Amino acid sequence: MMKQRPDGIRDYEDPAGGWGALKALASALKQQQLLVEGIPTLLKQNQPGGFDCPGCAWPDPKHTSAFEFCENGAKAVTWESTPKRVGPDFFAQHTLASLWTRSDYWLEDQGRLTHPLRYDAATDRYEPVAWQAAFDDIAGRLNALDHPDQLELYTSGRASNEAAFLFQLFGRQFGTNNFPDCSNMCHEPTSVGLPRSIGVGKGTVTLDDFDKAELIISIGHNPGTNHPRMMTPLRNASRRGAKIIVLNPLRERALERFEAPQAPIEMATTSSTPIASRYLQVKVGGDAAALKGICKALVAKDEAARAADRASLLDHPFIAGHTAGFEAFSADLASCSWGAIERASGLSRADLEAIADDYAASNSTIVCYGMGITQHVTGTANVQQIANLLLLKGNIGKPGAGICPLRGHSNVQGDRTVGITERPSTEFLDRLRDVFGFEPPRAFGHSVVDSIAAMREGRAKAVICLGGNLAMAASDPQACFKGFRQLDLAVHLATKLNRTHLLAARATYLFPVLGRTDNDLQVSGRQALTVEDSMSMVHASRGFLTPPSDQVRSEPAILAGIAKATLAGRSRVDWEALAGNYDLIRDAIEQVFPEFEAYNDRIRKPGGFQLPNAAAMRIWNTPNGRANFAIFAGVEEDATSADPEVLRLTSLRAHDQYNTTIYGLNDRYRGVFGRRDVLFANPRELERLGFVEGDVVDVVTALDFARPDRIVQGLTLVSHDLPDGCCASYYPEIQPLVALEFRDPDCLTPSYKSIPVKIMRAQAPLAGDRAVTRDGIVGRRPDP
């Protein structure tokens, strides 16, 4: 007889996509009360003249089908264009203390913010405030700081180029480079590691390359959920016979089998397309070792081939002409033992050799990767190992080949391009000075982890958040919650209510902003914004829906309002003019960044334009002018640190969420329905540790910085196909386990995906915030 599985846990047998995706869309429309009206909105998504999907940063194909259907893009759009509203009445009914006890899911599902609000400590409520009064008060408080570096300016990656540019212009003229942004928690290892390897911190491929690649290697990303439009090129590649190799601890359904929801024949005959030709379940955190193993096998095979006078497997002319460090790199590979590589990666030598053979046989290879690579203590090293593999066969800067980091937020790459960085270059600051006539600060500022530490320690006094949900997205809620509550001033620009907004500072403002789908009308007429996708294409985005209320303002308008009030006589920038006509903001961007030449003309062409990428042209902007091999020395150490009680925990996105935004409680492809309070591990490991599926457990960190409150409580064990020694649960529920100090020392990205943990039978609940419920996190009790 079949064993009874825990409530809401089922085996999912179908391919990803297909009718299930269409059904899920119908229910998303219904949940947001958008039955018929939702359809025209979806039709304008990712079409020339329409708006850019606020979902992911995957580029748009040149010849868009009637509409590029994407279940999760559709959810992002319906979530934003919902008719539900959170206005002054709502806040009159709810104190912050009572809102705190709700789940994150509930908070955002209440609807769009409609009025500028100010927190009143006497009533414990947000109350309406007039825009100008708010700007004046904020200006007074900012100007009362002892030093501009007491201000932190956070950017979440949905902000447009125009909003981001104004934000950094304001901050730098105010006097700080404190620009923590969501990139710090996401692809910072790419921004730090790739420039060392190839001189550019961005991907080198275009969509055309996916049509030409003979081999695509996918490491640590889950496109069926997080970049669904990427499934079309993967499916096409598989159908024309290209190989696809996956390295992922979980067997993600879309990487196994996919059924295109826009292909009628496939849907009618339910003949799905197999995606991966080889699927290897690498150990959590074992990627650098696996990549090293593949390189070791390949270099050894090449030496053997050449000794036997057979054709070489590496691109030696490329290595000699374009790279540095090959000798030391191959010597290090030779000295690293297979035993250590197998233990650290959890993969067999035979499997890694087989990948090396596929790779050797391919004339053009793309490696795609996501958070499974970046969010580790070794994130930067992991990215550089991928670059090594590509360099061995000259797979950068040739058709059908290259490196493809899957960016997260739809404009996270663009925000960086236009100046959201805590480590600005001298060249950029000089141009800012020349164009705007002020001396920008030169000292580097805070990234996310530094900014939270500064808040916790009282060094930061004020924060302005351009979108996002910083206190939930960052590691260490123990530090974030305390830090936010100690501030003198917190200002949030947001579309919807979230938990970070409930952390009241001495003065707290919550401003409603226009979203991507909204018509943005300014004095000069209807405005377009611009964004840059994962493949460096810059294009315009125009919303068309009536905004939630006439009080809602655009991000550029609000930032200009704050800047004008704060910098008063100090700035020669005409903030009002910029906010009234975004063409003028783009002209300013073009003056500072020459690669945006003819910006306004070029975004008026459908599809926009591509920013130049030196590495894709084999120009290496590294200090030595070459592409560099990087040695990773950590394999042996990793292979020996084995306390059998400790599992390595990775944090995942469910299918029904967008980062901290929870759209629903299902994770369909992993067979989870109606709940988020689960911990996945394989049945052998459950048994070895004395548990069975369905047991309720608490999880603690097994790190030096363990403290009694670094615990997550009440997770139900679910058996799932994962490698030995590993377990997985959802982001952001596991956040209390990630100490601020647990991060990649090279780039400060928190190690959200390799947390050493111990599991134990559930104790009586400690503090509310650590106990996970079916709805995810609810703050049962205010954090002390």
Which stretches of the chain bind Mo ion, using CB under 5 A?
186, 408
Residue from 68, 252, 422, 476 that binds ligand MGD (CB under 6 A)? 252
DSSP state of 500: G
Contact 346, 286 (CB under 8 A): yes
Residue from 229, 253, 393, 409 that binds ligand MGD (CB under 6 A)? 409
Distant-in-sequence contacts of 85-91, Cβ < 8 A, 24+ apart: 85/111, 85/112, 85/114, 85/548, 85/549, 86/110, 86/111, 86/112, 86/113, 86/114, 86/496, 86/497, 87/114, 87/115, 87/549, 88/114, 88/115, 88/117, 88/127, 88/128, 91/117, 91/125, 91/126, 91/127
Beta strands at 273-274 and 85-86: parallel, antiparallel or unpaired: unpaired
Minimum CB separation from ligand MGD for residue 540, in Å?
16
Residue from 731, 759, 770, 777 that binds ligand MGD (CB under 6 A)? 731
Q: Which is nearer to ligand MGD, 374 or 395 (CB)?
A: 374
Within 8 A by CB and 6+ apart from 320, the residues are none
Binding to ligand MGD by CB under 6 A, coded x per residue (else -) over 633-662, reads -----------------xxxx---xxxxx-
DSSP state of 241: T
Nearest to 288 by CA among 649, 630, 738, 737: 630
Candidate segments 60-68, 246-254, 421-429, 772-780, binder of ligand MGD by CB under 6 A: 246-254
Minimum CB separation from ligand MGD for residue 490, in Å?
14
513 near ligand MGD, judged by CB under 6 A: yes
Minimum CB separation from ligand MGD for residue 558, in Å?
9
**CA-to-CA dists, residue 238 to 64, 210, 365, 499, 726, angstroms:** 20, 11, 14, 42, 30
422 near ligand MGD, judged by CB under 6 A: no
Minimum CB separation from ligand MGD for residue 185, in Å?
4
Q: How far apart are CA 142 and CA 165, in angstroms?
A: 20
Binding to ligand MGD by CB under 6 A, coded x per residue (else -) over 283-322, reads -xx-x-----------------------------------
Q: Which is nearer to ligand MGD, 406 or 777 (CB)?
A: 406
Rg (CA), the chain: 25
Helices (H), 697-779: none
Contact 77, 517 (CB under 8 A): yes
Residue list 210-239, contact with ligand MGD (CB under 6 A): 219-222, 225-227
Minimum CB separation from ligand MGD for residue 404, in Å?
12
Minimum CB separation from Mo ion for residue 112, in Å?
23
Q: How many CA atoms lie within 13 A of 627 on its CB side?
A: 30
Minimum CB separation from Mo ion for residue 408, in Å?
2
186 near ligand MGD, judged by CB under 6 A: yes
Minimum CB separation from ligand MGD for residue 310, in Å?
32
Which secondary-structure segment (H or E) carries 491?
A: strand 489-494
Question: What residue 515 binds from ligand MGD, Mo ion, none (CB within 5 to 8 A, per partner kind)?
Answer: ligand MGD
Q: Which is nearer to Mo ion, 370 or 547 (CB)?
A: 370
Question: What residue 657 binds from Mo ion, ligand MGD, none (CB within 5 to 8 A, per partner kind)?
Answer: ligand MGD
Q: Which is nearer to ligand MGD, 462 or 737 (CB)?
A: 737
**CA-to-CA dists, residue 452 to 166, 731, 741, angstroms:** 23, 19, 11
Nearest to 153 by CA among 550, 466, 485: 466
Q: How far apart are CA 756 and CA 751, in angstroms?
A: 10
Size of the site for ligand MGD (CB under 6 A): 63
Question: What residue 221 binds from Mo ion, ligand MGD, none (CB within 5 to 8 A, per partner kind)?
Answer: ligand MGD
Q: What is the crossing angle of helices 131-143 and 555-567, to 10°? A: 50
Residue from 746, 753, 769, 778 that binds ligand MGD (CB under 6 A)? 753
Based on the number of CB atoms within 10 Å of its own CB, is 120 exposed (0-12), middle (13-18) or buried (19 or more)? middle
Q: Which is nearer to ligand MGD, 367 or 432 (CB)?
A: 367
Q: Which residues bind ligand MGD (CB under 6 A)?
A: 55-56, 72, 108, 156-158, 182, 185-186, 219-222, 225-227, 247-250, 252, 282, 284-285, 287, 370-372, 375, 406, 408-409, 466-470, 473, 493-496, 498, 513, 515, 555, 650-653, 657-661, 731-732, 734-735, 752-754
